[in-house]
Amino acid sequence: MSWSTILGHADRIDAFRQLLARNRLAHAYLFVGPAGVGKRLFAVELAKAMLCESAKSPRTLDACDQCDACLLVDAGTHPDLFQVEKPADLNEFPVELMRQFSHDFALKAARGFRKVAILDDTDDLNLSAANSFLKTLEEPPPGSLLILLSTNLDVQLPTIKSRCQMVRFAPLSDEHVRQLLRKRGIEDAGMIERLVRLSGGSPGQALALADESLWKFRRTLLQGFTQPKVDSVALGRQFVEFAEEAGKEAALQRRRVNQMLRLLIESFTDVIRLQAGSSARSAESAELPLLASLAQRAGHEKIQAILERCLETETHVGRYLQLSLVLEGLMDSLGQLLDK
């Protein structure tokens, strides 16, 4: 990887080049921006520049991509690069994890004299976990760099914000998202445009939604919603099974459910567009008759109520309620609204 692979953040790259040239790099940064816009990629590339063992780095921000240190960073095995994230099965960072990180980060560097830490999901740091590594954040080892990643500045603890320099990462342009999708082998022009619209400027979101199984299951749900009588029990069971196919970890299942909810919300938004005499924007050609059927079957108020129920479900999923009950409840509510 190199800086050329990071799209849409040229201004941030230039800013860090100037900081390095002036020897003004801070010891701790808080990268804030939507999920999937490249914060982690940026952080890893910056870490590689710091740890590169060639003569030109880190003064020019350009890692050589050839030395042992660069290869270790690319492989995720560099002993002086700490990548810390919340365990997938927990809602918050455990205090023990942060204490262990602080202890290990304080030790002498295994190679050279620099150490870099990238802490992901710091929105989920509670007060106890944050306090357990405040001393590291205030007085890091000489030559070290800490990078914290966040999607929501409002939930960051004041003790964190006051000790880091904040760097904002904006959503990418539609064209940058298109470029990335093409580079990843997506060739269908219609699918690219649908993904761009759904992405909100997040290539990570676009790539996640490119999963064909999501679109296939959305068609299954839409077909179920257009039946003379909606079989809510069967649809609820199918939705739960679909979530479980993501893996055993609850976090993976919730992520898949949220992706599906995103597609469902877009479908019912398309129904409202059809009712208003406009055209659908996120539907595949095979879905258009299904959306037209829903537009005739349910009035505007019912579709609005369905949208509100889907949005409420997103909130319930985020609150870590029992997923099967949430999904079965959603299908029951939608079935009742459509069968009235």
- Contact, 103 vs 128, CB < 8 A? no
Residue whose tokens read 């029992």: 322
Beta pairing partners, 165? 29
- Contact, 89 vs 251, CB < 8 A? yes
For residue 45, give both structure tokens: 């590339």
Closest CA to 146 of 105, 94, 98, 92: 105
Q: What are the backbone dihedrals phi and psi of residue 233, each rounded to the nearest 5 degrees, phi first?
A: -65, -45
Q: What is the pLDDT of residues 22-76, one digit of tens each?
A: 888 999 999 999 999 999 999 999 999 999 988 665 567 888 899 999 999 999 9
Please give the C-alpha separations between residue 161 and each of 26, 56, 115, 118, 171, in angstroms, as whole numbers: 14, 32, 21, 16, 22
State mean pLDDT over 181-198. Answer: 94
Residues counted in the chain: 340
Tell me which H or E stretch contains 108: none
Q: If 0-12 CB within 10 Å is exposed, 13-18 middle and 19+ buried, where does residue 52 land?
A: buried
pLDDT at 56: 60
Cα(196)–Cα(202) distance, rounded to whole angstroms?
Answer: 9
State mean pLDDT over 143-151. Answer: 96
State mean pLDDT over 269-273. Answer: 96
| Average pLDDT over the chain, rounded to an integer | 93
3-class DSSP assignment, residue 117: strand
pLDDT at 189: 93
pLDDT at 209: 96
Cα(173)–Cα(179) distance, rounded to whole angstroms?
Answer: 10
State mean pLDDT over 146-153. Answer: 96
pLDDT at 319: 73
pLDDT at 59: 63
For the chain, which domains are there? 3-168 (3.40.50.300), 211-339 (1.20.272)
